[in-house]
Amino acid sequence: MVELYLSPSCTSCRKARTWLNDHKIEFNEHNIFTQSLSPEALRNILSKTENGTDDIISMRSKIFQKLEVDVDSLSVDELIDLIEKNPSLLRRPIILDDKRLQIGFNEDDIRVFLPRDYRRVEMKTSKDAVND
């Protein structure tokens, strides 16, 4: 099952939700401001990142600049506690399933969440269109 962590006021989050709905992909939606992420969910997200905190923390956010914290010096538990108290630190949307993670909305990258059979048909259709 795909998990979508978002903020309803975020344009990229709304695009991700619409894309998932349009492609009939079932997902669980989590508003990061009304449903705080559990420590387990945050650990799961962190475990799927390529660059750790750099992937999920919005270094340009006002709250990050106001906190003046060096996230690289924090333990995982301290980082999780910081995010739980300040969910706006997270880049969003966060889209993940058992194997994949995407931070932010990118229409090309989000296609990895399409079922494999659907992607095969889509690739065949696009190849046929090019050959016509």
Active site residues: 10
Yes or no: say if 17 and 4 are a contact pair by the CB < 8 Å rule: yes
Distance CA 101, CA 20 (A): 14
Amino acid at position 126, single letter: S
Yes or no: say if 94 and 101 are a contact pair by the CB < 8 Å rule: yes
Distance CA 20, CA 113 (A): 9
In sign, the C-alpha dihedral spanning 73, 76, 77, 79 is: positive
